[in-house]
Amino acid sequence: MNVTVNPVDQHKVTLTIEVPAKEVTKGIAQAVKRIAGQVNIPGFRKGKAPRRILEMNFGKDAILEEAFELLAGRAYNEALREQEIIPVSEPEIERVTFEEGKDLVFKATLTKRPEVTLGEYKGLEAEKQDATVTDEQIQEQLDNIRNQQAKMVVADKDAKLQKDDFAVIDFAGSIDGKPFDGGEGKSYPLQIGSGNFIPGFEDQLVGHVAGDDVDVKVTFPEDYFVKELAGKEAVFKVHVHDIKRKELPELNDEFAKEASSYDTIEELKADLRKKMEEDATGRAIDAYNAALIEQAVKNATVDIPEIMVDDRVEQMIQELAMNMESRGLKLDDYLKFSNKTLDALKEEYKANAAENVRADLVLEAIAKEENIQVTTEDMNMEIFTMAQNFGADPKEVWNIIAKEGRVSMLASSVARKKAARFIIEHAKGAETAKSEEAKEEEK
């Protein structure tokens, strides 16, 4: 087999592939055997019908088409291995010559994986975030718990509506004196300052008391999701039934018993501090690691083909759709609610998709440069982790991946993770961090 590579542009190449006539003859014989094994011809056992009979039933062209598929597919894959080309698009195939007894010549035009020129990825530095938890943060968390444990009580008769109060209201909206769909509600609990209603609505209720009747005048936003109402001025006749306020429990030992498994408020505070410090430390480590990897990616040079970005966008859209479906929603409903088109959503994803592709290419290049190997143990650990995340059996996860032909994709993902770990382990300060960990273990 002879292969010639001709560049089309920065990313595309055309392979001109020549297959010797003797291989063409073998390919045709294989095609005959394959077709014979797939059809039933009266008078012949399956797989035993000769070529002459097959041509009479299906035509000579059918056999040659089958032969071309066999020969071209095999030759194309062999050419990619020989030329060390990794395609990122399906090839466009053009036949040049294909006749029985002659060499097969065809062209395959494809977009190839881009070359990555690595920059510095060892000895990098990144700022480490402060993981200190302050007393103010502890108090904020306690206040959140108090809010969760709060009781709603009716405010005093003369109490005036203020921010965070709940106004129990009837309302009826109209535009130019005519009611509109969805503009009416009874005994609706509206929290003042929540922003749940049209901008300006809640502000006009502030200062009123239970029993008041208020005319609220608002203008629907220009981008309002109901097109018939967008930009229109409306008047809502509102009656305030009641004003309700949260009654917060006192921060004492009794509160700790009610809100947690602890007997005292000090024990609850200590537990909150411990958990918040663990979370803060975890976030700081994640941010530090991400900053190192981001530097390594930025230090590299790679020009990404548009098709790789488009493919990643499609992948992100599919993941979004699956996520929606898992919650009983549909992508079309999300687009309608967000007032977006599918093309607009894809455009939004493009920048992020490009960064993701770039990061993957750089990490894979580092894995190759450092001869990072993916072992059977690495794959088993990844499968085990995936199984835990999905609450599934590791064997089932492996069977699904193997059945869908995604083993190589999984191996590439593991290689990228190992490359990321390599960057982190070879950063400045990594040795210091290791020695500090050793000291902690000795304690």
Report pLDDT digits (tens) over 64-96.
Answer: 888 899 999 999 999 999 999 999 999 999 999
Q: Which residues of 277-293 are buried (b: 16+ CB within 10 A; e: fewer)?
A: eeebeeebeeebbebbb
Most confident of 243-252, 328-337, 426-435: 243-252
Output the CA torsion sign for 415, 421, 422, 424. positive
Could you give the residue ranges of the DSSP H alpha helices within 38-189?
51-58, 60-83, 135-149
Question: Rounded mean pLDDT of 37-41?
Answer: 79
pLDDT on residue 436: 52
Q: Is 308 left (phi over 0), alpha (psi -120 to 50) or beta?
A: alpha
Would you state the pLDDT for residue 404?
Answer: 87
Asked whether residue 442 carries a pLDDT value surpassing 60, the answer given is no
Spell out the alpha helix ranges (H) of 161-305.
253-259, 265-299
- Region 176-201: mean pLDDT is 92
Per-residue pLDDT of 384-402, as tens digits, reads 999 998 888 999 999 999 9
* Rounded Cα distance, 406 and 28, in Å: 31
Contacts of 438 (CB under 8 A, 6+ apart): none
Beta strands in 176-287 (DSSP E): 178-191, 213-219, 233-247
Range scoring the smallest mean pLDDT among 129-143, 316-330, 409-423: 316-330
Q: How far apart are the first and last CA of the chain?
A: 67
In the predicted model, is pLDDT for residue 437 greater than 90?
no
Instruction: Supply the pTM of this predicted model.
Output: 0.73
Q: What is the pLDDT of residue 391?
A: 86
Average pLDDT over residues 33-56: 79
Mean per-residue pLDDT, 168-180: 94
Q: What is the pLDDT of residue 427?
A: 94
Q: What is the mean pLDDT of residues 283-309?
A: 95
3-state secondary structure of 315: helix
Convert the pLDDT of each residue in 339-384 to its tens digit: 889 999 999 999 999 999 999 999 999 999 999 999 999 999 999 9
DSSP H or E run through 343: helix 342-369
Residue 419 has pLDDT above 90, yes or no: yes
